[in-house]
Amino acid sequence: MMRIFKAFLLFIISTSIWAQDSTLTIGLKPTPPFIVQEGSGRPAGLSYRFWELIDDQVPARVQYRWYDDMEGMLEALARGEVDLSINPVTVTEQRMDSLDFSQPYFISGTAMVRRSESSWMVFLENFFSRQFFSAIAILLGVILLFGTLVWFFERRHPEGVQFRKNWRGIFDGFWWSAVTMTTVGYGDKSPETSGGRTIAFIWMFTAILLISGLTAGVASALTVKSMESKIESIEDLRRFKTGTIDATGTAEYLGNYGLPDNYYASVEEGFEALRKEEIDIFVFDRPVLRFYLEKSDNQDLVLDSRNLKTDYYSFTYPKGSPLREALDPKIVRALKSDSWNFILRKASKGQD
């Protein structure tokens, strides 16, 4: 009984909405592949195709109003100049203060685009990295320490000729220590004093334990690591110059972390900034980034395989608009329809 009452109430609300104004004004901003403005001014794209599944259920005449930027469109929504927007708008806390959002109709993520990296260039970068030189310095320091200790005892040997008695004998000790550690075993130098042999005995077993760890450190420093492997969370982006599109959900999200370094008016401008090395990473919605990468065959740029966060795309209404309650059931039915699943499958294969 309660379900019947709610359905009847929703029907009454919906009917009253269309009766008050038979014209529905929808705000749009070109955002391929979701919203595309065709030459005739008619919309196209993934979001529009989803709206077409709902449009037949709306007893009102629909007109579209185009905007040049997302911020202008959202401001128009907040002022009530348009009834709703079918653009893929990300729900954020700041936007919820002035706007209402529908049931999400598409789930995606915020991703990163960076310049493609040559394996040789990355190797050279790692070769001259601080980590590599630190590992080498530790290795040489340990060799020098034990070589100096052996020289300290051997220089006192009255008949010792293998380790010079002056400071140059430190080089003899260093040579012996390196040969012993690497198990080359030339045999040209060997300790003769009890103290020297004790140090040699300790060094032989210590070297077995240390050489594996130190060698692994050097190998790790030389391992080819791309920029992608250096970024495990959004906090790691602080080490790079980042960019995104101004007045977007991505810009708001990055702003919470003191990012980005640069703002751009479009994805194309962000890609161009990447090529000019003005920024290291461009951050935005994954489907949009993939569309522009495939559109212009940007082989010099790479889309990161991970998402920084999950995004939920929704229709947008003015605050307190009764359209949300009227359209949400229609959105849910459209999401479950075979037609929408078919559209998504074609989109995932890059088909029109």
In this predicted structure, what is the pLDDT of residue 1?
47
Place of tokens 């790479």: 302
> What are the pLDDT tens digits along the chain (352 aa)?
444 444 434 444 444 455 445 789 999 999 999 999 988 788 999 999 999 999 888 888 899 999 998 889 999 999 999 999 999 998 888 899 999 999 999 999 999 999 876 555 555 665 666 766 777 788 888 888 888 888 888 877 766 667 777 777 788 888 888 888 877 766 677 788 888 888 888 888 788 777 676 666 666 655 545 555 567 788 888 889 999 998 888 998 999 899 999 999 999 999 999 999 999 999 999 999 999 998 877 778 989 888 999 999 999 999 999 999 999 999 999 999 999 999 988 887 665 5
At residue 88, φ and ψ (nearest 5 deg) are -75, 80
Place of tokens 């709610």: 6
In this predicted structure, what is the pLDDT of residue 151?
82
* Contact of 293 with 73, CB cutoff 8 Å: no
Q: Give the Cα separation of 343 and 274 in Å (integer).
A: 32
At residue 241, φ and ψ (nearest 5 deg) are -80, 120
Cis, peptide link before residue 158, omega less than 30° from 0: no
* Matching fold, domains 114-118+228-303 and 123-222: no
- pTM for the complete prediction? 0.66
At residue 114, φ and ψ (nearest 5 deg) are -140, 170
Please give the CATH number for the structural domain made up of 123-222. Answer: 1.10.287.70
In this predicted structure, what is the pLDDT of residue 351?
54
Fold of 114-118+228-303: D-Maltodextrin-Binding Protein; domain 2 (3.40.190)
Tokens found for residue 238: 């602080």
Cis, peptide link before residue 191, omega less than 30° from 0: no
Torsion angle defined by CA atoms of residues 120, 125, 128 and 131, in that order, rounded to the nearest 10 degrees = -120
In a 3-state reduction of DSSP, which class is residue 276?
coil
In this predicted structure, what is the pLDDT of residue 158?
65
Q: Give the Cα separation of 144 and 148 in Å (integer).
A: 6
The gap from C-alpha 127 to its chain's centroid, in whole angstroms, comes to 25
Q: Give the Cα separation of 89 and 288 in Å (integer).
A: 12
In this predicted structure, what is the pLDDT of residue 7?
43
Q: Give the Cα separation of 163 and 174 in Å (integer).
A: 10
In a 3-state reduction of DSSP, which class is residue 108?
strand
Dihedral of alpha carbons 31, 33, 35, 41, sign: positive
In this predicted structure, what is the pLDDT of residue 47?
95
Torsion angle defined by CA atoms of residues 22, 319, 289 and 287, in that order, rounded to the nearest 10 degrees = -60
- Where along the chain do its domains lie? 2-108+311-348, 114-118+228-303, 123-222
Alpha-helical segments (H) within the chain: 2-20, 46-55, 70-79, 93-96, 119-127, 130-154, 169-181, 194-222, 249-255, 267-275, 286-296, 323-335, 338-348
Q: Give the Cα separation of 68 and 74 in Å (integer).
A: 11
- The continuous run of DSSP H or E covering 27 comes out as strand 23-28
Q: Give the Cα separation of 28 and 37 in Å (integer).
A: 9
Closest CA to 313 of 19, 78, 70, 120: 70
For residues 264-299, b (16+ Cβ closer than 10 Å) or e, as one string? beebeebbebbeeeebbbbbbbbbbbbbbbeeeebe
At residue 80, φ and ψ (nearest 5 deg) are 80, 20
In this predicted structure, what is the pLDDT of residue 202?
85
Closest CA to 296 of 316, 270, 315: 270
Please give the CATH number for the structural domain made up of 2-108+311-348. Answer: 3.40.190.10
